[in-house]
Structures are given as C-alpha cells and as structure tokens.
Amino acid sequence: MKGIIFDLDGVIVSTDKLHYAAWKKMADDESIYFDEQINNRLRGVSRMASLEIILEKANKTYTDEEKLALAEKKNNLYRELLKELTPADRLPGVTKTLDELKARGFKLAIGSSSKNTPQILKYIGFDGFFDAVSDGNNITHSKPDPEVFLKASEMLGLSPEDCYIVEDSTAGIEAGLAGGFSTIGIGDAALYERTLYKIRSFDEILGIVK
Ligand code: BG6
Ligand code: MG
C-alpha cells in the first residue's frame, strides 16, 4: 500500500458536530423534527442530498427555490461556526498519526464531499499538508459514488488497490468499496458490517496500514 485517503468531517476534524448544529437550527426554524440519528444519515452525503433527507420529516412540500434557500441558510450558519475552528479541533491522535504515516512514506490525501474543505483545512492548520485534496468542488457525484476517492488516488498517481480510505460514514465506506479501495472505518463506520478494518481511535491506523 502506498496511499491513504482521509474523509475530513468526523475523521480529521469535529466539523460533523457543527454540521449537526447548523442543520438543527434550520430544522427547528422550519419546525421539522431532526435528531442525531437522522444526522448520521447525512455523513458523507452532499449538502442538497442531506437537505432532502431532513425534509422527509417536513409537513409541507418545498419548491426547488425554497430548498436552495434552506441549504444556503444552513451553509451560512455552518460557515459562521467554522470561523471558530483552530488546530485544537483536530480530532484526538490525528496530528501524531499523520506525521508518523508521512515519515513511513505514505502519500496522504483528503477525499471529502464538502465544498468548505479548503477553508476548514486552513482553519485547522493543514493548508498544504496533504499531497492531494479532492473535495466537493471537483466532483459531480457525492458518496456513495466513488468519484471523490478515485479523483484523490488519481491526483496521488496511485491506483485504488494501492490505497486505503478512512471514513466515518457508511456512504463513504460504500464509496471506497465501489472504487476498489481498502476501507478503514471509525465512529459510525466502525459499526458497519461492510467495513474492512474497524477502529475506535485514529492512532489504530498505524497498526493496520502496511
Ligand atoms: C461531508 C459531510 O463531508 O460534506 C456531510 O459529512 C456534508 O454531512 C457534506 O453534507 C457537504 O458539505 P458542505 O460543507 O459542502 O455543505
Ligand atoms: Mg465524514
């Protein structure tokens, strides 16, 4: 194995909690029921697809224009919350583990559905750290489609068989499997039966990759 492609939200940084807070505010304002369990279904899924999942609980139907306005409202709230991020918001074990993986010669990439990836990487001090960044700005299909990971491996100059993907979402694990990658799951994805390597803490990656 030569490369490792990391999801961002909920793997490298705790932005999954900020996504939840922003969607929760939007849902409350619209009197739509929304909880952490529904939020787990939004992991790895694009902004508009996430909104569609939340609207399953709505009592009215929304026009396409209204949907765009709701998604924009959520994104504006989310971007306000992002401004508070610092390197201290990297998840436990991330800094040490990534440094060690680099030292072992692995090429490291980000594979995230988020269009906010560049700003987030800046806020947490990872601007320029990864060998490649593939995100919501350069894909047309969101996870579980493998596009974002395939683009990342292409940017690294590696084939999927030579790369692991690290994910917290079942959609991301499915994307990894569809692309022919070895899958490592943390959090929600560690509870998923189709995940190849299930980990409880980020530093366990060091014992898996070779
Ligand atoms: C993923 C998150 O990383 O990015 C999803 O897990 C989110 O919950 C998606 O919907 C899109 O993010 P953004 O920042 O482009 O709205
Ligand atoms: Mg994630």
Residues with CB under 5 A from ligand 2 (ion): 7, 9-10, 43, 168-169
In eight-state DSSP terms, residue 131 is S
Averaged over 2-8, what is the pLDDT? 98
Grouping H, G, I as helix, E, B as strand and the rest as coil, residue 9 is strand
Q: Which residue, among 69, 14, 80, has the nearest Cα to 47 in the 3D structure?
A: 69
Alpha carbon of 191 to those of 5, 33, 51, 129: distances in Å?
A: 20, 25, 24, 30
Classify burial at 153, counting beta carbons within 10 Å of its beta carbon; exposed 0-12, middle 13-18, buried 19 or more: buried
Closest C-alpha residue for ligand 1 atom 14: 114
> What was the pLDDT predicted at 73?
98
Peptide bond into 160 cis (omega under 30): no
pLDDT at 158 over 90: yes
Residue position matching structure tokens 């998840």: 91
Q: What is the pLDDT of residues 102-144, one digit of tens each?
A: 999 999 999 999 999 999 999 999 999 999 999 999 999 999 9
Q: Using 50, 70 and 90 to split pLDDT, how confident is the model at 1?
A: confident
Closest C-alpha residue for ligand 1 atom 16: 47
Report the residue count for the chain: 210
* 172 CA from centroid of ligand 2 (Å): 7
User: What is the pTM for the complete model shown?
Assistant: 0.96
* 67 CA from centroid of ligand 2 (Å): 23
In the residue annotation, 9 being an active-site residue is answered as: yes
Averaged over 2-20, what is the pLDDT? 97
Q: Which two tokens stand for residue 160?
A: 């999927």
Neighbours of 81 (CB within 10 A): 15
User: Which member of 7, 16, 131, 135 is catalytic?
Assistant: 7
Q: What is the pLDDT of residues 77-101, one digit of tens each?
A: 999 999 999 999 999 999 999 999 9
Q: Which residue, among 71, 73, 70, 84, has the nearest Cα to 15 in the 3D structure?
A: 84
Q: Using 50, 70 and 90 to split pLDDT, how confident is the model at 153?
A: very high
Q: Give the Cα separation of 7 and 75 in Å (integer).
A: 19
**Averaged pLDDT of the chain:** 97
pLDDT at 195 over 90: yes
